């Protein structure tokens, strides 16, 4: 078939374009030579220099803390926002609310960053760790809201209604029925929020202060000075961590899905 | 009946349920919508050599406030051709990049949608995975490839396309910026296109071919019109942030690559002119209001 050969070519070229630069970056992190065009043999030396670079390690630790905190707060707020959008079809200012959920997804980062910075200065908050956490929470919660919202829309509400009919209070129903059912989306939302926070350079640059240099800011300042294998090493570790996380998450959701299907089968057999 | 009253109550927030709405609502009002008013305010104030480097507008009575408002930052933006050229150049780069993304992304999305259904989740995963790795890292990866003594030069010299003394002169030009943008935004274009194409009813194409319609014509008459929502969504998701892009033009572009995100960054961090940077941001926002509004409307329709 002609069209299937065309499709295969397109996909091969497309994925080559997406992956070759990343693969090259990873390979050159093991290059003993400092030059990009010269292969000086396999070596772990850049990982060693990276490990002993205290500034880089401090930045990594700050970034991880900002990521966990902002992703966690962002996931709570984003899940609440998704519930509001899906479950409450009308309340005053709903238009504005959904607008504020969608706009940050496409808003240029320079605008978000500048506006938050001016807010912090206007109310007299010292910039630093917490201002970055607030900034990251604000834009990541919108991504979480979108992810959780799509799960809530395909959600079978009969279980929830059964619990409420049997006299389970709404808050308890949420924690015992709703939350476990939307959990895969909540976890996916958290991971997305965490990687977005890990990744952000522009918003963090505007909202950070002394003593709160995040990893992207550090990497950016080194990249401006030129390509060094040490940056390749830290990038490779980040790519490795993210890949592991994504694979682990997809395996665990697939397992959960299989378990759910099996449980349903058992339940059905029990009924008949 | 209890169940009926409960379901009714669920559609309208009761007193306890207000918290669910109010907490994220106030967070976004405070940290997303509120700051825009502050940007507006500061764009109307004077520069000062102080910390913060601007003269506050909101002091004293209302009359005093109005007399202090001044539009000199905006006037300055119209007087210095640098700013107008930055805006126009950003819009031009964003438009060309979006078209390139469509040209590359559409065949990919179509091929994914036509692939066997057992293969599709893997293909989607392969498109999403690069998106999870850092934006900065992916742009950085291109520096090593594109710079004059980089890998592309090495490749061309090895296969004989270039002499040993020739070098690829792409790095720090607009071409490098286009490559970086297309590379970084490709997943954002492919995924909405794929989800539109995947939903398509294949019997329509079969009917067309049964009736003797050639495949290419069937594509333009059936496939493409049905995928238009995906085309619009993908284009907006790419076009809007590309217009304000900073990292890619800064790392891959040259001194003559004008993009408004970069201009704003320089104004803010380099010249420390906060009021002018705010005015630049306000105008950028005004330029993007219409695309953002279309994007929101479309997302609501999908949702």
In a domain, A51, yes or no: no
How large is the average pLDDT for residues B29-53? 79
Contact A24 B145 (CB under 8 A): yes
Contact B149 A36 (CB under 8 A): yes
Annotate chain B with three-state secondary structure: CHHHHHHHHHHCCCCCCHHHHHHHHHHHHHHHHHHHHHHHHHHCCCECCCCCCECCCCCCCHHHHHHHCCCHHHHHHHHCHHHHHHHHHHHHHHHHHHHHHHHHHHHHHHHHHHCCCCCHHHHHHHHHHHHHCCHHHHHHHHHHHHCCCCHHHHHHHHCCCCCCCCCCCCCCCHHHHHHHHHHHHHHHHHHHHHHHHHCCCHHHHHHHHHCCCCHHHHHHHHHHHHCHHHHHHHHHHHHHHHHCCCHHHHHHCCCCCCCHHHHHHHHHHHCCCHHHHHHHHHHHHHHHHHHHHHHHHHHHHHC
Please tell me whether residues A200 and A88 are part of one structural domain: yes
Distance CA A77, CA A85 (A): 12
Contact B133 A242 (CB under 8 A): yes
DSSP line for chain A: -HHHHHHHHHHHHHHHHHHHHHHHHHHHTTBSSSSSS----B--HHHHHHHT-HHHHHHHHHHHHHHHHHHHHHHHHHHHHHHHHHH-S--TTHHHHHHHHHHHHHS-HHHHHHHHHHHHHHHTPPPSHHHHHHHHHHHHHHHHHHHHHHHHHT--THHHHHHHHTT--HHHHIIIIIHHHHHHHHHHHHHHHHHHHHH--HHHHHH--TT---HHHHHHHHHHH---HHHHHHHHHHHHHHHHHHHHHHHHHHHHHHHHHHHHHHHHHHH-
How large is the average pLDDT for residues B246-267? 91
Q: Is the pLDDT of residue B254 over 80?
A: yes
Distance CA B28, CA B296 (A): 16
Report ipTM for this prediction: 0.86
Chain B, window 150-179: residues with a beta carbon less than 8 angstroms from a chain A beta carbon: 150-151, 153-154
Please tell me whether residues A23 and A63 are part of one structural domain: no
Burial class (CB within 10 angstroms; exposed 0-12, middle 13-18, buried 19+) of B121: exposed
What is the least distance, in Å, from the CA of A259 to any CA of chain B? 19
Per-residue pLDDT tens over the stretch B207-242: 888 888 888 888 888 889 989 999 999 999 999 999
Distance CA A31, CA A42 (A): 5
In a domain, B115, yes or no: yes
Contact A223 B251 (CB under 8 A): yes
In a domain, A53, yes or no: no
Distance CA B264, CA B270 (A): 9
The number of folded domains in chain A is: 2
In a domain, A22, yes or no: yes
Within 8 A of A67 by CB-CB distance, chain B residues are none
Q: Is the pLDDT of residue A140 over 90?
A: yes
Contact A110 B281 (CB under 8 A): yes
pLDDT at residue number B7:
44
How large is the average pLDDT for residues A238-259? 80
Q: Which domain holds residue A26?
A: 1-43
Q: Is the pLDDT of residue A199 over 90?
A: no
Please tell me whether residues A110 and A198 are part of one structural domain: yes
Please tell me whether residues A4 and A87 are part of one structural domain: no
How large is the average pLDDT for residues A27-54? 83
- CATH, residue A266: 1.10.3720.10
Contact B215 A97 (CB under 8 A): no
Please tell me whether residues A84 and A4 are part of one structural domain: no
Within 8 A of A99 by CB-CB distance, chain B residues are 296
How large is the average pLDDT for residues B180-202? 91
Contact B144 A137 (CB under 8 A): no
Banded pLDDT at A271 (limits 50, 70, 90) = low
Please tell me whether residues A29 and A93 are part of one structural domain: no
Q: Is the pLDDT of residue A28 over 70?
A: yes
Q: Is residue B267 within 8 Å of residue B134, measured between CB atoms?
A: no
Instruction: Identify the closest residue of chain A to B36 by CA–CA distance.
Output: A115
Within 8 A of B12 by CB-CB distance, chain A residues are 88, 90-91
Within 8 A of B140 by CB-CB distance, chain A residues are 25, 219, 223, 227, 231, 235
Contact B31 A216 (CB under 8 A): no
The two tokens of residue A90 are 């009308």
Please tell me whether residues A115 and A153 are part of one structural domain: yes
Banded pLDDT at A141 (limits 50, 70, 90) = very high
Please tell me whether residues A135 and A236 are part of one structural domain: yes
Contact B296 A239 (CB under 8 A): no
Please tell me whether residues A112 and A11 are part of one structural domain: no
pLDDT at residue number B53:
66
In a domain, B46, yes or no: no
Please tell me whether residues A30 and A140 are part of one structural domain: no
From the list A96, A104, A242, the residue facing B132 with the nearest CB is A242
The number of folded domains in chain B is: 1
Contact B11 A145 (CB under 8 A): no
Per-residue pLDDT tens over the stretch B70-91: 678 888 888 888 899 999 999 9
pLDDT at residue number B11:
47
Per-residue pLDDT tens over the stretch B144-159: 889 888 888 888 888 8
In a domain, A175, yes or no: yes
- Whole-number CA gyration radius for chain B: 25
Name residue, tokens 């710079």: B147
How large is the average pLDDT for residues A5-14? 92
Q: Average the pLDDT over each of A106-110, B30-34, B164-168 and give the range with the smallest value.
A: B164-168
Q: Is residue A142 within 8 Å of residue A102, measured between CB atoms?
A: yes
Per-residue pLDDT tens over the stretch A143-189: 999 999 988 988 778 888 888 888 888 888 888 888 988 988 898 89
- Whole-number CA gyration radius for chain A: 23
In a domain, B7, yes or no: no
pLDDT at residue number B66:
52
**B5–chain A Cβ distance below 8 A for any pair:** no
Please tell me whether residues A37 and A162 are part of one structural domain: no
**B148–chain A Cβ distance below 8 A for any pair:** no
Per-residue pLDDT tens over the stretch A77-133: 999 999 999 988 788 888 899 889 999 988 999 999 999 999 998 888 889 999 999
- CATH, residue B281: 1.10.3720.10
In a domain, B55, yes or no: no
Q: Which domain holds residue B252?
A: 82-302
**B234–chain A Cβ distance below 8 A for any pair:** no
From the list A17, A85, A206, the residue facing B183 with the nearest CB is A17
Distance CA B135, CA B121 (A): 23
How large is the average pLDDT for residues A244-264? 77
Please tell me whether residues A23 and A68 are part of one structural domain: no
Q: Is residue A24 within 8 Å of residue B141, measured between CB atoms?
A: yes
Q: Is residue A32 within 8 Å of residue A24, measured between CB atoms?
A: no
In 3D space, the residue among B176, B184, B171 whose CA is nearest the CA of residue B104 turns out to be B184
Q: Is the pLDDT of residue B111 over 90?
A: yes
Q: Is residue A128 within 8 Å of residue A212, measured between CB atoms?
A: yes
How large is the average pLDDT for residues B155-176? 85
Contact B243 A88 (CB under 8 A): no
């Amino acid at each position: 078939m002609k069209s299937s050969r065309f499709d295969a070519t397109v996909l091969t070229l497309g994925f080559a374009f997406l992956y070759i630069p990343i693969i090259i970056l990873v390979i050159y992190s093991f290059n003993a030579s400092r030059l990009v065009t010269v292969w000086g043999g396999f070596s772990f030396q850049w990982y060693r220099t990276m490990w002993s670079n205290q500034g880089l390690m401090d930045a990594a630790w700050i970034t991880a803390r900002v990521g966990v905190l902002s992703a966690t707060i962002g996931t709570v707020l984003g899940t609440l926002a998704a519930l509001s959008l899906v479950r409450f079809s009308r309340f005053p200012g709903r238009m504005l609310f959904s607008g504020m959920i969608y706009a940050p997804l496409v808003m240029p980062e320079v605008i978000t960053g500048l506006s938050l910075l001016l807010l912090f200065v206007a109310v007299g908050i010292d910039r630093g760790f917490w201002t970055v956490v607030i900034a990251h929470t604000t834009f990541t919660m919108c991504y979480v809201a979108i992810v959780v919202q799509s799960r809530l829309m395909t959600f079978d509400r009969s279980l929830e209604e059964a619990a409420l009919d049997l006299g389970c209070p709404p808050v308890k129903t949420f924690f015992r029925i709703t939350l476990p059912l939307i959990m895969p989306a909540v976890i996916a939302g958290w991971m997305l929020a965490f990687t977005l926070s890990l990744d952000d350079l522009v918003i963090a640059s505007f909202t950070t202060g002394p003593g709160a240099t995040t990893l992207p800011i550090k990497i950016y300042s080194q990249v401006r000075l030129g390509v060094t294998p040490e940056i390749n090493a830290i990038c490779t570790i980040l790519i490795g961590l993210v890949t592991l996380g994504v694979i682990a998450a997809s395996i665990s959701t697939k397992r959960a899905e299989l378990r759910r299907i099996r449980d349903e089968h058992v339940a059905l057999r029990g009924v008949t | 009946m209890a169940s009926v009253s409960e379901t009714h109550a669920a559609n309208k927030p009761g007193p306890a349920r207000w918290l669910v709405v109010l907490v994220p609502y106030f967070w976004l009002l405070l940290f997303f919508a509120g700051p825009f008013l502050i940007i507006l305010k500061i764009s109307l104030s004077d520069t000062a050599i102080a910390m913060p480097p601007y003269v506050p507008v909101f002091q004293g009575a209302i009359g005093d406030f109005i007399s202090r408002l001044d539009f000199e930052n905006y006037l300055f933006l119209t007087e210095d051709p640098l700013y107008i050229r930055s805006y126009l150049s950003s819009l031009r780069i964003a438009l060309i990049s979006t078209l390139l993304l469509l040209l590359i992304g559409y065949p990919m999305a179509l091929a994914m949608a036509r692939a066997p259904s057992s293969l599709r989740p893997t293909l989607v995963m392969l498109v999403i995975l690069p998106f999870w790795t850092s934006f900065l890292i992916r742009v950085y990866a291109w520096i090593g490839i594109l710079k004059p003594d980089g890998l592309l030069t090495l490749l061309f010299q090895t296969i004989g396309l270039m002499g040993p003394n020739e070098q690829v002169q792409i790095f720090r030009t607009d071409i490098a910026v286009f490559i970086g943008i297309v590379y970084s935004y490709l997943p954002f274009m492919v995924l909405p296109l794929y989800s539109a194409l995947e939903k398509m009813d294949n019997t329509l194409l079969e009917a067309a071919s049964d009736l003797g319609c050639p495949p290419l014509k069937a594509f333009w008459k059936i496939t493409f019109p049905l995928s238009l929502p995906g085309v619009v969504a993908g284009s907006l998701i790419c076009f809007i942030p590309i217009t304000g892009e900073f990292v890619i033009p800064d790392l891959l572009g040259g001194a003559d690559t004008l993009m408004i995100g970069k201009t704003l960054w320089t104004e803010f961090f380099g010249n420390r002119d906060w009021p002018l940077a705010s005015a630049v941001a306000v105008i950028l926002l005004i330029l993007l209001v219409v695309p953002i509004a279309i994007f929101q409307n479309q997302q609501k329709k999908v949702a």
